Amino acid sequence: MSHNPTAAAAAPALTPFSPYQKTVVAMLAFLQFAVILDFMLMAPMGALIMPALAIGPREFGLVVSAYAFSAAASGLLTAGFADRFDRKRLLLFFYGGFVLGTLWCGLAQSFEALLVARIVTGLFGGVIGSIVIAISTDLFPPQMRGRVMGMIQTAFAASQVLGIPLGLYLSNHWSWHMPFLALAAIGVIGGLVVNWRMRPVADHLKASQEHSPWMHLLHTLAVPRHLLAFATTALLTTGGFMLMPFSSAYTVNNLGISLHDLPTVYVVTGLCTVFVGPAVGRAADRFGKFRLFALGTVLSIAMVLTFTHLGPVSLPVLILVNAALFVGIFSRMIPAQALMSSVPPPAQRGAFSAIGASVQQLSGGLASVVSGHIVTLASDGKLQHFDTVGFVVVASSLVSFMLLWKLQRDLGSRQGNG
């Protein structure tokens, strides 16, 4: 018994990546970066797009949400077919559609054209994340998935650090069309590299295929363990989407940070999470995914309560709180994704990931709506009831913790029986 601690420390000596695996992770992270950047570019450019197309906040809100809802719909529509093809070919098909949709956004000259372009971009782009997760799960064993998910999640932070300031710079110097055109051009290069360097991902095709895509979708939905994972995904997504839409207004109006200093908050927080993501992934592989998720839950609850109850603060204090909050969020998302990647069998991985992506988009949209009904604007411009949003996020965090605990216990007993 006395040797257990040594064994526990020695056993998780991390398996190194092969050169090809490193290339694959870099390609998947880039694709995730491009998709997230396209989604994130819309919000900061609202101030430029609205006067350019002579539209109001209502129409702009419709343009932003059109992507999320079409992405959610395409996830469900694709789920039945997701395991019937080589995943590399499927990825390139949807990525090609996404690049064309982004190009269309850059060429749009009217509200209607931009709305249709965002719907098309969402239909293709919304599925890419789920195919990326399915490929990651197919190509990497469980003891490597924490690091893989850490790198893929870091694409989110990288898009915030590099993408948003660069997007604003391009649109300020040329026009709001330029960031989309630049992303489409870079996207073409990325797609060509994937086509050239990635090998086919088709081992799942060796399993017997169901005749009907709809039966495949229904059978994937009918597994209780899958439903538990989808419920966990929905609640994990809720937290970020409840806080995000109002965090900049809360930071400026309630905490007294100037609009001029707001980009600094995002860039420093983003830079912090660029380093945190891979570190969290390594820790998940080394010390256990659920253990790290539990620590992340404790930290994120503490920081959500701190952030939503702050009064006027200095810029360094806010950056510190914001960075700690994102560390908590990443310490939940990365191990949870790595753990849930072991839930479906290979023949249902594509469908499971596509449905999960749909659930993520829908729950994110719903969380934003709920948050919008809780928060009100006072006559002095300050947000009221933002602390109530914090309590709702904490409650969802606790429920998601219980669901993931049950899920990993079920996975443990299934592997034990196997």
Amino acid at 272: C
The answer as to whether 6 is a domain residue is no
Question: Domain range spanning residue 366?
Answer: 19-417
The answer as to whether 230 is a domain residue is yes
pLDDT reported for residue 395: 92
Contact 150, 284 (CB under 8 A): yes
The answer as to whether 166 is a domain residue is yes
Consecutive H or E run containing 357: helix 349-374
Contact 410, 290 (CB under 8 A): no
Contact 71, 361 (CB under 8 A): yes
- Report phi then psi at 330, rounded to 5: -65, -35
CATH number, domain with residue 269: 1.20.1250.20
Domain count, the chain: 1
The answer as to whether 10 is a domain residue is no
Concatenating the DSSP letter of every residue in 279-346 gives HHHHHHHHH-HHHHHHHHHHHHHHHHHHHHT--S--HHHHHHHHHHHHHHHHHHHHHHHHHHTTSS-G
The answer as to whether 8 is a domain residue is no
pLDDT reported for residue 416: 44
Contact 213, 80 (CB under 8 A): yes
The answer as to whether 327 is a domain residue is yes
pLDDT reported for residue 22: 85
- Which residues fall within 8 angstroms of residue 351, CB to CB, at 6 or more apart? 79, 80, 82, 83, 216, 217, 220, 344
**Model-wide pTM > 0.75:** no
Contact 145, 119 (CB under 8 A): no
pLDDT reported for residue 331: 86
The answer as to whether 1 is a domain residue is no
pLDDT reported for residue 299: 93
In the chain, which stretches have pLDDT less than 70? 1-13, 43-47, 56-58, 61, 79-83, 160-161, 163-164, 202-214, 216-217, 245, 412-418
Contact 238, 393 (CB under 8 A): yes
| 17 vs 405: CA distance, rounded Å | 29
| 76 vs 78: CA distance, rounded Å | 5
pLDDT reported for residue 16: 77
| 230 vs 83: CA distance, rounded Å | 18
The answer as to whether 14 is a domain residue is no
| 176 vs 117: CA distance, rounded Å | 15
